[in-house]
Amino acid sequence: GQNIDQPTEMTATEGAIVQINCTYQTSGFNGLFWYQQHAGEAPTFLSYNVLDGLEEKGRFSSFLSRSKGYSYLLLKELQMKDSASYLCAVTDSNYQLIWGAGTKLIIKP
Amino acid sequence: IAGITQAPTSQILAAGRRMTLRCTQDMRHNAMYWYRQDLGLGLRLIHYSNTAGTTGKGEVPDGYSVSRANTDDFPLTLASAVPSQTSVYFCASSDSEGATEAFFGQGTRLTVV
């Protein structure tokens, strides 16, 4: 079966750095997405990785290792507004998106 | 309209009633999707459409139907609602299936009583 694993919840301190991990087992791979979802709102796109390595976008970076079936989202200089759920999603060989259950990130002052 | 719009934003529905959730996008995206999101389960695909005139079943299609008569609209119908269909429903679209970012509507919170 197809499976994406993320931690259910993480807590971090304002101004710090946090890494959210995602491991996946899918039938084929055509890219990995990270989305942010604030409570009561729709998911919004953060990043896309299709090749191995690190993609940096401001305070957010995303890393991919296809051989390990592993990705992480790195958030630097955490702000209170970063409190949200972070969803990992993988595109499989049929170009269907497989979603993880999401990681709820709690930022404390 | 800017982006993707869903209606209604919330609804309380009696069990056994028929209900259509509306979704419209103005980005001329080929692919559209309906998801339900339940606590602890993440987003689950109900139905999808890769292009106007075609639809496909997702992970949890039972009890739901869709149509894609044109590029912009992708309504989701619950023929006879049951309490287990209580959920938050998201419509999304992307330029091509699975390979580009998806844009989501604001969601419809449906309660079946």
Q: Do B45 and A48 touch (CB under 8 A)?
A: no
Q: B76 and B20 in contact (C-beta within 8 Å)?
A: yes
Both tokens assigned to B93: 């679209």
Q: Given this model, what pLDDT does residue B39 score?
A: 86
CB neighbours of residue B96 within 10 Å: 12
Residues of A within 8 A of B43 (CB-CB) are 43, 87, 89, 99
Q: A72 and A63 in contact (C-beta within 8 Å)?
A: yes
From B98, B76, B96, B100, select the one nearest B88 (Cα to Cα). Answer: B76
Is B1 a residue whose pLDDT tops 90? no
pLDDT, tens digit, 9 for 90 and up, residues A13-59: 999 999 999 999 998 999 999 999 999 999 999 999 999 999 999 99
Residue partners of B81: CB distance under 8 A and separation at least 6? B13, B14, B15, B16, B17, B18, B19, B110, B112
Sheet with B64-66, side-by-side order of all strands: B4-7, B19-25, B76-78, B64-66
Nearest to B90 among A30, A42, A95 (CB): A42
Mean pLDDT across B69-79: 97
Strands B87-94 and B31-38: antiparallel
Q: What is the CA radius of gyration of chain A?
A: 13
Mean pLDDT across A58-77: 97
From B29, B55, B33, select the one nearest B45 (Cα to Cα). Answer: B33
